[in-house]
Structure 1
Amino acid sequence: MSEKEISKPFSRRNFIRNTAVVAGGISIIPRHVLGGPGFLAPSDKLIVAGIGVGGKGESDIANFAKSGKAEIAFLCDVDDRRAANSVKRFPKAKYYKDWREMLEKESKHFDAVSVSTPDHTHAVATMAAMELGKHVYVQKPLTHDIYEARQLTEAANKYKVVTQMGNQGSSGDGVRQLREWYDADVIGKVHTVWVWTDRPVWPQGIPWPTTKSQVPKELDWDLWLGTAPYKDFVDGLVPFNWRGWWDYGTGALGDMGCHLVEPPYRVLDLKYPKDVQCSVGSVYTGEFTRGYFPDSCPPSSHVTMTFPKTGKTDGDVILHWMDGGIQPTRPEELGPNETFGDGGNGALFIGTKGKMMCSTYGANPRLLPISRTDQVKVAQTLERVPGGAGGHYAQWVEAAIAGYGNMEVSSPFDIAGPLTEALLIANLAIRGTDIRHERKNGKGFDYPGRNIEMLWDADNMRVTNLEEANAFVKREYRAPWKQK
């Protein structure tokens, strides 16, 4: 093994050492390798193991099964309460609490893995599955950190597995209609995009609770924390409100960005921004309005990213992200009572010849003024996914059965990875606003990350003009998960 391979944080050697689960020297051979190209389970179905099977994970595996081409054979969740519905729905599936144990004991008995855990566990579970040759479906955002996203993107090609991120709108008809309008030059060349959401709908901009609570007997709190720093259990964090804490979630950008930024990302062939700046909402603390809660995402934000010119633009593209209920000014072509996006969420494309917009998931695409939507006719050039956004699950199942490289999917890691990175770079700017230095005179603090434009070096994954912000590019895992 080369020195470069040895240093990789998610290498198989490090996975075995750090999790202390897989016996040293044992090599588990994936079923598709044993059976050769095109090998299927005896039932001719994709055999799936679910990691995180409550909430969204429950609906994910149910949709795989609904395709008629997948069998849910293994279930894993750190919280028996959350897993209860899936255990009842799939009584023949074997249940585990620790996904590492499931991979060690059962990897020869399934073909693919669905990962629907809190954001901070996505990368480590997904990488472990891919290293075993398993196809993977991972909920959005793909990862918690920028570094993790780059690692998974590279690993998908290395291990030659079929990958899909759970942003269903990428399989919808809406984004394809937007692409066809744009490719037909209906609105000219886009130079500015506005994207907004009414999220968060969970607490943000608050201090960490000071009261320790009793851990529910059904929950393995240490396993839930996984790679994150150890903290005592507090009420209200699980199963939903973890999204507002940086140790576990990625805020409104992570929750909705993959659904809302994906349309402009695909229409314009965007990749990585070259600079990013932001402002965040204030929190009244009784002393000053800005607040200082570095553990928590802010209640609202406005982030501006500059994307370099692509083959589909005449120059740079400025993309604005707004959350917390903040919205851009309504376009003049939109009637006073006509809905902007879907009301709480949407994306607006501004081109040299016109404008177009859509709702969440790229749904309900419209030209502006809206009367143009039915008047303008362009040829359909892009194949639709059967079932549209709802067909996102079956598409991955069928592609995994077909084998790597034999069928296209809507959100493979080659696309989902850079999209996730772009959103996490926006979060980098948001987190940078909480970097603070105590003044030499001891009177107050300075905040070097506020009111600046962060310059991003995509090749090296680093901010070039605020070194302290780079601490958020790649976090340190706690032992035994600690990266080497």
Structure 2
Amino acid sequence: MKENSKTASTPRRDFIKKASLASIGISIVPRHVLGGVGFTAPSDKLLIAGIGVGGKGESDIKSFADSGKADIAFLCDVDDRRAANSRARFPKAKYYKDWRELLDKEEKNFDAVSIATPDHNHAAPAIAAMKSGKHIYLQKPLTHDIYEARQLTKAAEKYKVVTQMGNQGASNDGTRIMSEWFDAGLIGDIQEVYCWTDRPVWPQGIPWPKTAAPVPSELDWDLWLGTAPYKDYVGGLVPFNWRGWWDYGTGALGDMGCHLVEVPIRVLNLKYPKDVQCSVGSVYVDEFKRGYFPEACPPSSHVTMTFAQTDKTKGDVKLHWMDGGIQPARPEELGPNEVFGDGGNGVLFIGTKSKMMCGTYSENPRLIPTSKTDQVQVAEKYERVPGGANGHYAQWVEASLAGYGKKEVSSPFSVAGPLTETLLIANLAIRGFDVRKERSDGRFDYPGRYIEMLWDSEAMRVTNFEEANQFVKRNYREGYTL
């Protein structure tokens, strides 16, 4: 792997120190330890440190190892229960609980980092690792905040590291096929796109539990909170239901938007939205009263974003996001028993000539009526990723081994950053919906409801509703910084 300027030259004393890694059970050392630029280690493998190695993190690092071109050198997780499988699979990998300690002590002993923590703890370790010259694979959504996404996008270019977001559908053929259909003129001009999901499949739209619970002995709760404000531990939050709380997650949009909205962003070359509006579902507080809980993501939402004309469109494009089981009307050309999208999720393009749709991860792309799909022959224009979604992992490993700028990846931060910002701009409208102001009579007004928020992408702010801008950038808890 070509080394960046920070690692191209290593003093002899550092070499001796690194060579002692064998004593802790690691038989391979990074290429930069053994020689200068262009040196090939005997293993020729990427040494990876995993931060967050349970659940999706567990499957990520397994996929890297399965590529045959990577070794998992270090593991880090705040929850010993979640880390158990990865520790058993990679017994030679040294284990840490705090990613800050891992980077501080082992900075020069690995090449790349895989991060699969909850959303609120994505940006801080990613920035720190990039500053150390590490290549980064970061789970979706890239970040919790708009400001963080912009900073990670800039950092990837500044530090010349290979980056990939974990929206594996970006490596599938579906997006490329739909781009080829559109480029060939089969769909005509597109002015409206719908993306929908049956998520959330975790609790949303509920009040924060009033009763604290004992912290499991295997979990370091303080480290799990990380950048977020301190709260007492509550049952049921870990390992998955944090997605429904704004302090930690980004709701259904953050979870599924990177898989679904990625398709129209790529096909139409959309940039940042210029305005956003929404409506959200409420829940029954009791049998007579419906309400909203500002600390929680809503149970359902419909967000509409407007994108300015691009080199692939003839005018503005309206992109609709729907979650909580809300779906757009079925196209008239779709048979009554034909599945819309993939059932629970989908993307629908409405063009002046025709329509097309796909499911999650851009799978099963079809023209509408679907009978046209097998009748159309369009030349292959965009290079395919070997293995599709499964090849997303090996693609990043191989690009990291080659070095910055040598091989393309499907979702580098230059693409994933603006995509994530787009989703989080939509969340601004959702969160702004619950901003309230007390009136003199003790009741409340909600000035962010039922308005169109105007977005200035360069300044990263809403220009006509200042209260929404508090959600662009969080204040981290003491001990964490970008």
Report the TM-score range of the alignment, normalised by the length of the smaller protein: over 0.9
1:69 aligns with 2:47: no
Correspondence for 1:291: 291
Contact 1:32–1:40 (CA<8 Å) still a contact in 2? no
Correspondence for 1:158: 158
Correspondence for 2:301: 301
Contact 1:198–1:323 (CA<8 Å) still a contact in 2? yes
**1:43: how far off?**
1.2
Matches within 5 A, 1:179-198: 179-198=179-198
Compared with structure 1, are the counterparts of its residues 260 and 445 closer, same or farther at alpha carbon in structure 2 (3 Å cutoff)?
Answer: same
Correspondence for 1:276: 276
For 1:136, the aligned partner's letter is: I
Correspondence for 2:213: 213
Q: Secondary structure at the match of 1:451?
A: coil
For residues 104 and 393 of structure 1, the distance between their equivalents in structure 2, rounded to whole angstroms, comes to 26
Gaps of 5+ in 2: 1-29
Matches within 5 A, 1:31-180: 32=32, 35-180=35-180
Correspondence for 2:449: 450
Q: Secondary structure at the match of 2:136?
A: strand
Matches within 5 A, 1:330-345: 330-345=330-345
Q: What percentage of residue pairs aligned between the two structures are identical?
A: 77
Contact 1:281–1:290 (CA<8 Å) still a contact in 2? no
Compared with structure 1, are the counterparts of its residues 446 and 301 closer, same or farther at alpha carbon in structure 2 (3 Å cutoff)?
Answer: same
Alignment TM-score, normalising by the size of structure 1: 0.92
Q: Give the alignment's Cα RMSD to 1 decimal.
A: 1.3
For 1:345, the aligned partner's letter is: N
For residues 335 and 76 of structure 2, the distance between their equivalents in structure 1, rounded to whole angstroms, comes to 50
**1:37: how far off?**
3.8
Compared with structure 1, are the counterparts of its residues 154 and 56 closer, same or farther at alpha carbon in structure 2 (3 Å cutoff)?
Answer: same
**1:34: how far off?**
8.1
Correspondence for 1:468: 467
Matches within 5 A, 1:198-277: 198-277=198-277
- Give per-residue Cα distances to partners, 1:202-223, cap 9 Å, x unaligned: 0000000011100001000000
For residues 128 and 482 of structure 1, the distance between their equivalents in structure 2, rounded to whole angstroms, comes to 9
For 2:101, the aligned partner's letter is: E
1:430 aligns with 2:425: no
**1:38: how far off?**
4.0
Contact 1:38–1:402 (CA<8 Å) still a contact in 2? no
Alignment TM-score, normalising by the size of structure 2: 0.92
Contact 1:31–1:109 (CA<8 Å) still a contact in 2? no
Correspondence for 2:479: 480
For residues 142 and 155 of structure 1, the distance between their equivalents in structure 2, rounded to whole angstroms, comes to 13
For residues 226 and 140 of structure 1, the distance between their equivalents in structure 2, rounded to whole angstroms, comes to 18
- Give per-residue Cα distances to partners, 1:311-365, cap 9 Å, x unaligned: 0000000000000000000000100000000000000001111100000000100
**1:127: how far off?**
0.4
For residues 249 and 233 of structure 2, the distance between their equivalents in structure 1, rounded to whole angstroms, comes to 16
For residues 319 and 338 of structure 1, the distance between their equivalents in structure 2, rounded to whole angstroms, comes to 23
For residues 143 and 281 of structure 2, the distance between their equivalents in structure 1, rounded to whole angstroms, comes to 25
For 1:119, the aligned partner's letter is: D
Compared with structure 1, are the counterparts of its residues 63 and 365 closer, same or farther at alpha carbon in structure 2 (3 Å cutoff)?
Answer: same
For residues 33 and 174 of structure 1, the distance between their equivalents in structure 2, rounded to whole angstroms, comes to 41
Contact 1:282–1:289 (CA<8 Å) still a contact in 2? no
Contact 2:349–2:357 (CA<8 Å) still a contact in 1? yes
Q: Secondary structure at the match of 1:371?
A: helix
Compared with structure 1, are the counterparts of its residues 192 and 166 closer, same or farther at alpha carbon in structure 2 (3 Å cutoff)?
Answer: same
Compared with structure 1, are the counterparts of its residues 160 and 34 closer, same or farther at alpha carbon in structure 2 (3 Å cutoff)?
Answer: farther
For residues 40 and 105 of structure 1, the distance between their equivalents in structure 2, rounded to whole angstroms, comes to 24
For residues 78 and 119 of structure 2, the distance between their equivalents in structure 1, rounded to whole angstroms, comes to 14
Contact 2:292–2:298 (CA<8 Å) still a contact in 1? no
Correspondence for 2:26: none
Correspondence for 1:396: 396
**1:247: how far off?**
0.2
For residues 41 and 109 of structure 1, the distance between their equivalents in structure 2, rounded to whole angstroms, comes to 13
Contact 1:168–1:392 (CA<8 Å) still a contact in 2? yes
Q: Give the paired residue count.
A: 453
Correspondence for 1:24: none
For residues 310 and 127 of structure 2, the distance between their equivalents in structure 1, rounded to whole angstroms, comes to 30
For residues 312 and 68 of structure 1, the distance between their equivalents in structure 2, rounded to whole angstroms, comes to 39
**1:42: how far off?**
3.8
Contact 2:437–2:444 (CA<8 Å) still a contact in 1? yes
Compared with structure 1, are the counterparts of its residues 165 and 33 closer, same or farther at alpha carbon in structure 2 (3 Å cutoff)?
Answer: farther
For 2:338, the aligned partner's letter is: E
Correspondence for 2:4: none
For residues 177 and 33 of structure 1, the distance between their equivalents in structure 2, rounded to whole angstroms, comes to 43
Correspondence for 2:23: none
